Amino acid sequence: MSDFPAGPDFPPGSVWLVGAGPGDPELLTRKAERLIRAASVVFHDALVGPEVLDLATPGTRLVHVGKRSGRHSKDQASIDKLIVAAALEGERVVRLKGGDPAIFGRATEEIDACRAAGVAVRICPGVTAASAAAASLGLSLTLRGMARKLTFVTAHARAGEALDLDWQALADPTATLAVYMGKAAANEVSAQLIAAGLSADTPVALVENASLPNERQFRTRLDLLPLAARTALGDGPALLLIGKAMGAGLLAASAAEHVREAVC
As annotated, the active-site residues are: 45, 67, 181
CA distance 165 to 215: 28
227 three-class SS: helix
Residues 126-185 binding ligand SAH (CB under 6 A) are 128-129, 133, 180-181
Closest CA to 19 of 11, 30, 10, 28: 28
- Amino acid at site 45: D
CB 215 → ligand SAH: shortest distance, Å? 7
> Should residue 211 be labelled a site residue for ligand SAH when binding is judged by CB under 6 A?
yes
Q: Which stretch binds ligand SAH (CB under 6 A): 35-43, 100-108, 137-145, 256-264?
A: 100-108
The amino acid occupying position 175 is A
Binding positions for ligand SAH, 32-51, rule CB under 6 A = 47
- Provide φ and ψ at 92, rounded to 5°: -95, 110
When asked if residue 124 is in the footprint of ligand SAH (CB under 6 A), the reply is no
Report CA-CA distances (Å) from 6 to 36, 39, 57, 84, 87. Answer: 9, 8, 12, 19, 15
For ligand SAH, which residue of 239, 241, 245, 248 counts as binding (CB under 6 A)?
A: 239
Q: Does 186 bind ligand SAH (CB under 6 A)?
A: no
Query: Considering only 88-96, 190-198, 207-215, 224-232, which stretch makes contact with ligand SAH by CB under 6 A?
Result: 207-215
Cβ contact 201:221 at 8 Å: yes
Name the β-bridge partners of 204.
220, 242
Question: Least Å distance between CB 11 and ligand SAH?
Answer: 26
CB of 119 to ligand SAH, least distance (A): 22
Considering the complex, what minimum distance in angstroms separates the CB of residue 129 from ligand SAH?
Answer: 3
Q: What is the CA radius of gyration of the chain?
A: 21
Per-state percent for the chain, helix, strand, coil, to nearest 5: 35, 20, 45
Closest to ligand SAH by CB, 113 vs 233, is: 233
Residues 125 and 138: their CA atoms lie apart, in Å, by: 22
Contacts of ligand SAH in 13-32 (CB under 6 A): 22-23
Pairing mode, if any, of strands 15-19 and 93-97? Answer: parallel
Task: Using CB under 6 A, pick the residue from 6, 16, 41, 237 that binds ligand SAH.
Answer: 237
Q: Does 99 bind ligand SAH (CB under 6 A)?
A: yes
Binding interface with ligand SAH (CB under 6 A) = 22-23, 47, 97-100, 103-105, 128-129, 133, 180-181, 207-212, 237-239
